[in-house]
Chains A and B, each alone.
Chain A
Amino acid sequence: MTEKLTNEETVTFTLNGEEKTAVKGELIIEACEKNGEFIPRFCYHPRMKPVGMCRMCLVEVSSPRGPSLQPSCYVEIQNGMEVNTQSDPVKKAQDGVLEYLLLNHPLDCPVCDKGGECPLQDQTLSYGPGESRFIEEKRHFLKPLKISSLVELDRERCIQCGRCIRFAKEISGEAEIDFAGRGEDTEVAIFPGKEFDSYFSLNTVQICPVGALTAVPYRFKSRPWDLEQIESTCQFCAVQCKLSVQSSQNEILRTLGIDSDAVNQSWLCDRGRFGFEAIYSSNRVNSPKIKKDGEFIDVSWPEAVEEVARALSVAKIANGPDSIGFIGGARLNNEGAYAFSKLAKGVIGTDNVDAQLSDGIDPNLIFGLRRATINDLDQAEIVVTLCGDLREELPVLFLRLRTLVANEALLLAEFSIGETPLSQYAAFRRSLVPGKVQNLLEELKDSFLSSFGRDDFEQKDGGIVFVVGNPGIGIDGLEIEHSIRALAKSFPNAKFLPALRRGNIFGALDMGLSPGLLPGRVTLKSHGSFFGDKWVCVPEKVGKNTKEMLQSVIDGTMDTLILLGSDPISDFPDKNLVLKAFEKAKNIICVESIMNESTKYAQVILPASMDHERAGTVTNLEGRVTHAGDKVTASGASFDDWVIASLISAELGDDLGFNSREDIGSEICSFAPAYRSTEKYFISGNDFGDGVVVPIAQVPVSIRARKSDPIEVPGLSSIERQGSPIRSGNSLPSSVAKVGSESQISFDNSMFDLNSTVSYKLLEEKRESSFYLVLEKSLYDNGTLLRESKSFENSARESYFKLNPVLLAELGVNEGDMITVSKESVKVKGRVVADSLVSVAVVVASWNQNSADSRELISLDNVNIVEVER
């Protein structure tokens, strides 16, 4: 339900005898609410289409035949309309509707998870009859019915408002849940033999106005009055949804999505909702560890930090600062990323720092593009996706795009390796083949855009938005970058939404955790001397990216690696390269929260606090800086990342100069050009709202009102009361911008030259019988954070290979059979999945799933050509 922004026309109407104004086209229920009159409701949700099913919102509306009762969620407000929400007929109607809804509603309140925050309870108390006239036996169903591993359904409690069904149909586009039966036998049901296995299933639990749908991980964990909450930001993917983190007894129990118009519009993915469980993993690193004689022993912080500093000093003296490299950083918040950036570049003097694991896009390219916001999708006429499956990589961004394209609010052109949930809506789609990306994009211009007679969109501002990311491992990153550069050149007015997926990757890149960059989206070349004055030193030359670092370790030119919350063994495309490098490396130091494959190779492990245990700011894919709070105390002896960086730096003899995270915030704001004037977002205790998109626009951008559903998240109203309502859009902070006070540090994306040409290897033509291998990522895999979350520990699937059905016939295999994909002597087995949209030249393999690891077949240096056999 996102309509394009138009100039708002107002109408006047009478509400309970008083003259009020409303926006034309608004529903009565919205108009009344904005004018301070809450109308009880169950089925109406501001983010979904109205259906008028529950009849709770009946109000008296003037009509030619006198006042009549009408559902206020279904009727648009008209000029001169007389609305009465408190007359006797309305009260009688409310009484009657509630009595009817309670007819079969069991008295489960004491054991129901919703009890205490239940709209049915609250509204029965406020508008209900007070006493029941029914003594008859109520309707009975088997309870609870497990409809997926995360959701349980109690049909007795259901009041048939259809919110869950509408969510599945309208928002997530997976109609796996629907009404069955008629009359009093109506029940919410899943299809026989199938599960409600949507990535967004737990949103239905949040919007259910009764306790009919409950979340398995939260079931019976606490009652609503036990919970304390803070407003925070999810850090599992780069969309960074706003959520409320709720805990009891210093333990996080659940999170609820907050309606942030600019970002997640109240939805969350299941992974983001219960991914916090990794905090309570039994493999948490709770104290610093040093490896002695092949065994990790727990040591004190001073001991561990001394060991790290000694290793770094020795490496620096023996082989120069370039022998030290930092890998990872997407799990840090901005403060942590800045501190480690300053440690690496400003204290040690190495530029071998990379937050990406050679599966993303060059940040020099990202910073040069005209960045779109998520809300720009609403305004766009055409959206072109050149990225992986958004549902797997950035789930809530997928929801927004899917809703828009399903409502025909925009035209979608899709470039993907295989079928995605968006393919069915695409007005134009091509399957990507390694080496041929550029040709396909030419087709976009020549055949698609011209066929719609939209030659003028090139000049039009915001008419076209490109969502660009890495569509799959196996397509040369340089080829993608080359294509994006070409797009930016042919569409100078288009906006780009970079679709990197790791949590705070954009914050890490903004803070300079990438070779050749310095904090605030500037390069070593342009701002090296500026930071040289402020810091102890800056690196002399541009450093290496992750792949080059690993190769240098094998060559022997580097010997010390610091892993910042990254696990290259299970997260880097070329596993063999990592293993070889780790065996060769002299020192591996892990700043890590959970033990994983890579920590086994560490000499020192420094425990870091995790999301929701540390306060700070994060930056999402739009460049939106928001606050992520600390709800619970950090586990064991864990420290925030910036503290760890400060400790190491102090031990090396150079104090970073940070006593609190606010110190870092003020340094970021004064040193990092793109973050200028964002001070207030770095100070704790402030009202952050939706945050701000950096660099702050010098012209205010229109702000759209929040559309929160007051009955969906009753607990959240306390957030509204405590701070000003959550705002959206690129709001200009009140204390803005002393423009040009220090002209040296202005941010200007033109310093990133899009015209520079990168040459990528044109792929060698494969033989007739062989295929290009491309790896696709999934939301659920064997990644550390998922594996360590109780609800998702078994969520990884069996390894699979996706092939075009034509090939299946040629090979003589059926869907579900096992096939062997081989490259030279390496053979990997997996199940066959037919995908008619995968090119016949390509085999798509799964990433980091169970039983077999397709990464064995991938090498970043060579073209990945594989053979397929039964």
Chain B
Amino acid sequence: MATNFFGGFKVSFKQISEPRVTTEYPKEKKPKPPRAHGRHVLNRYEDGMEKCIGCELCAGVCPADCIYVRGLDNPMDDPVSPGERYGYVYEINFLRCIHCDLCVEACPTEAITESKMFEFSFTSRADAIYTKRELLVDDDGKPKAQPWEDWREGDDRNTSAWMRATSPQGSKDYEGVVAWSSELGHGIRHPEGGQGDNRDDEATGNISLRETRKDHIFKNDGGRVR
């Protein structure tokens, strides 16, 4: 009887000295893995020019049909982006978006990237359609946080992590090779930790997936679980 009773706590006693896995979400959040897909941002070059050229490749590739782009002739006296054309209208409907990131892959200028921020909800359909005003980074290169979005300290550093965590050409040999342009507020960013070893987590502030999921990984595999 007693054996049976205390035997029921066997697992609990065994785990009592283990590190805690749960967090007080949403007060406290765990770091997100480098390839987490979240809300999009539209980036700028360091001189403040918009990277988007309104080519609509993102809209063309989008499987959920949630992106609407229209280009316009770039005013030569006050150019919005380098080149002849700029993105005049840019809208993403986040009720439709499945965060597949095909738009990021399709973008020829790395204008659209995804942050890791996914905690946002809306009270109206209109709020779910982000226009260029919401998507474009501000004058410091920081994403414009909307009142209904839950950005935490440091989250704005990771606005193009996914793109930099993978190889630009899909070839393993090029992983970690810088093939992207500079970003306003960040300069030329370091490669994120992806699959390869040639990463600099210090520089990116990135915490690898292995690190963030340490509490779930057995000791033998480099984690903390016994």
Check B53–A223 contact: CB distance below 8 A.
Answer: no
Query: With A and B bound together, what is the CA distance between A50 and B55 in angstroms?
Result: 35
Which partner residue on chain A sits nearest B83 by CB separation? A111
Which residues on B sit within 8 Å (CB–CB) of A143? Answer: 84
Check B72–A110 contact: CB distance below 8 A.
Answer: no
Flag whether B31 is at the interface (Cβ < 8 A).
Answer: no
Check A223–B56 contact: CB distance below 8 A.
Answer: yes
Which partner residue on chain B sits nearest A154 by CB separation? B84
Residues 101-122 of chain A, each 1 if its beta carbon lies under 8 Å from chain B, else 0: 0000000011100011000000
Flag whether A134 is at the interface (Cβ < 8 A).
Answer: no
Check B60–A115 contact: CB distance below 8 A.
Answer: no
For residues 51 through 95 of chain B, which have their beta carbon under 8 Å from a beta carbon of chain A? 53-57, 59-60, 70-73, 83-85
A111 in contact with B73 given A223-B60, A225-B60 (CB within 8 Å): no
Smallest beta-carbon distance B31→chain A, Å: 35
Which partner residue on chain A sits nearest B109 by CB separation? A110
Which partner residue on chain A sits nearest B61 by CB separation? A225
For residues 32 through 57 of chain B, which have their beta carbon under 8 Å from a beta carbon of chain A? 53-57
Flag whether A219 is at the interface (Cβ < 8 A).
Answer: yes
Which residues on A sit within 8 Å (CB–CB) of B73? Answer: 219-220
Query: With A and B bound together, what is the CA distance between A225 and B67 in angstroms?
Result: 14
Which residues on B sit within 8 Å (CB–CB) of A111? Answer: 53-55, 71, 83-85
Smallest beta-carbon distance B117→chain A, Å: 27
Smallest beta-carbon distance A515→chain B, Å: 50
Which residues on A sit within 8 Å (CB–CB) of B85? Answer: 111, 220
Query: With A and B bound together, what is the CA distance between A111 and B53 in angstroms?
Result: 7
Which partner residue on chain A sits nearest B81 by CB separation? A111
Query: With A and B bound together, what is the CA distance between A792 and B109 in angstroms?
Result: 36
Residues 750-793 of chain A, each 1 if its beta carbon lies under 8 Å from chain B, else 0: 00000000000000000000000000000000000000000000
Flag whether A293 is at the interface (Cβ < 8 A).
Answer: no
Query: With A and B bound together, what is the CA distance between A144 and B76 in angstroms?
Result: 11
Check B55–A110 contact: CB distance below 8 A.
Answer: yes
Smallest beta-carbon distance A417→chain B, Å: 42
Which residues on B sit within 8 Å (CB–CB) of A220? Answer: 54, 71-73, 84-85
Residues 77-118 of chain A, each 1 if its beta carbon lies under 8 Å from chain B, else 0: 000000000000000000000000000000001110001100
Check B55–A222 contact: CB distance below 8 A.
Answer: no
Query: With A and B bound together, what is the CA distance between A220 and B74 in angstroms?
Result: 10
Smallest beta-carbon distance A212→chain B, Å: 13
Which residues on B sit within 8 Å (CB–CB) of A225? Answer: 56, 60
Total cross-chain contacts (CB, 8 A): 34
Which partner residue on chain A sits nearest B107 by CB separation? A110
**Contact pick for A110, options B53, B59, B70, CB 8 Å:** B53
Query: With A and B bound together, what is the CA distance between A116 and B56 in angstroms?
Result: 11
Which partner residue on chain A sits nearest B68 by CB separation? A249
Interface size grouping (class) on chain A: 10 to 19
Flag whether A226 is at the interface (Cβ < 8 A).
Answer: yes
Check A226–B72 contact: CB distance below 8 A.
Answer: no
Interface size grouping (class) on chain B: 10 to 19
Flag whether B108 is at the interface (Cβ < 8 A).
Answer: yes
Query: With A and B bound together, what is the CA distance between A143 and B84 in angstroms?
Result: 8
Which partner residue on chain A sits nearest B73 by CB separation? A220
Which residues on A sit within 8 Å (CB–CB) of B59? Answer: 226
Which partner residue on chain A sits nearest B54 by CB separation? A220
Check B84–A144 contact: CB distance below 8 A.
Answer: yes
Which residues on A sit within 8 Å (CB–CB) of B84? Answer: 111, 143-144, 220
Smallest beta-carbon distance B14→chain A, Å: 58
Which residues on A sit within 8 Å (CB–CB) of B57? Answer: 110
Which residues on B sit within 8 Å (CB–CB) of A219? Answer: 73
Which partner residue on chain B sits nearest A144 by CB separation? B84
Query: With A and B bound together, what is the CA distance between A222 and B71 in angstroms?
Result: 7
Check A115–B70 contact: CB distance below 8 A.
Answer: no
Check B108–A110 contact: CB distance below 8 A.
Answer: yes
Which partner residue on chain B sits nearest A107 by CB separation? B108
Check A226–B53 contact: CB distance below 8 A.
Answer: no
Which residues on B sit within 8 Å (CB–CB) of A222? Answer: 56, 70
Which partner residue on chain B sits nearest A223 by CB separation? B56
Which residues on B sit within 8 Å (CB–CB) of A109? Answer: 108
Smallest beta-carbon distance A13→chain B, Å: 41
Which partner residue on chain B sits nearest A115 by CB separation? B55
Query: With A and B bound together, what is the CA distance between A111 and B109 in angstroms?
Result: 11
Which residues on A sit within 8 Å (CB–CB) of B54? Answer: 111, 220
Smallest beta-carbon distance A132→chain B, Å: 14
Query: With A and B bound together, what is the CA distance between A226 and B72 in angstroms?
Result: 15
User: Which residue of A109, A111, A144, A226 has the most chain B CB atoms within 10 A of its CB atom?
Assistant: A111
Which residues on A sit within 8 Å (CB–CB) of B56? Answer: 222-223, 225-226
Smallest beta-carbon distance B49→chain A, Å: 14
Which residues on B sit within 8 Å (CB–CB) of A226? Answer: 56, 59
Which residues on B sit within 8 Å (CB–CB) of A221? Answer: 70
Smallest beta-carbon distance B65→chain A, Å: 12
Residues 204-224 of chain A, each 1 if its beta carbon lies under 8 Å from chain B, else 0: 000000000000000111110
Smallest beta-carbon distance A155→chain B, Å: 14
Query: With A and B bound together, what is the CA distance between A115 and B55 in angstroms?
Result: 9
Residues 124-165 of chain B, each 1 if its beta carbon lies under 8 Å from chain A, else 0: 000000000000000000000000000000000000000000
Query: With A and B bound together, what is the CA distance between A33 and B171 in angstroms?
Result: 39
Smallest beta-carbon distance B89→chain A, Å: 11
User: Which residue of A115, A144, A220, A222 has the most chain B CB atoms within 10 A of its CB atom?
Assistant: A220
For residues 208 through 252 of chain A, which have their beta carbon under 8 Å from a beta carbon of chain B? 219-223, 225-226
Which partner residue on chain A sits nearest B106 by CB separation? A110
Query: With A and B bound together, what is the CA distance between A143 and B60 in angstroms?
Result: 26
Query: With A and B bound together, what is the CA distance between A111 and B56 in angstroms?
Result: 9
Smallest beta-carbon distance A820→chain B, Å: 43
Which partner residue on chain A sits nearest B70 by CB separation? A222
Residues 124-145 of chain A, each 1 if its beta carbon lies under 8 Å from chain B, else 0: 0000000000000000000110
Which residues on A sit within 8 Å (CB–CB) of B71? Answer: 111, 220
Which residues on A sit within 8 Å (CB–CB) of B109? Answer: 110
User: Which residue of A110, A143, A226 has the most chain B CB atoms within 10 A of its CB atom?
Assistant: A110
Smallest beta-carbon distance B105→chain A, Å: 14
Smallest beta-carbon distance A36→chain B, Å: 30
Which residues on A sit within 8 Å (CB–CB) of B60? Answer: 116, 223, 225
Smallest beta-carbon distance B32→chain A, Å: 30
Query: With A and B bound together, what is the CA distance between A115 and B53 in angstroms?
Result: 13
Smallest beta-carbon distance A213→chain B, Å: 15
Which partner residue on chain B sits nearest A219 by CB separation? B73
7 pairs from A and B in contact (CB 8 Å cutoff): A111-B54, A111-B83, A115-B55, A116-B60, A225-B56, A225-B60, A226-B56
Residues of A within 8 A of B (CB): 109-111, 115-116, 143-144, 219-223, 225-226
Not counting A115-B55, A226-B56, a sample of 6 additional A-B residue pairs whose C-beta atoms are within 8 angstroms of each other reads A111-B71, A111-B85, A116-B60, A220-B54, A220-B73, A222-B56
Q: Which 7 A-B pairs have the closest CB atoms?
A: A110-B55, A111-B85, A220-B71, A223-B56, A110-B108, A220-B85, A225-B60
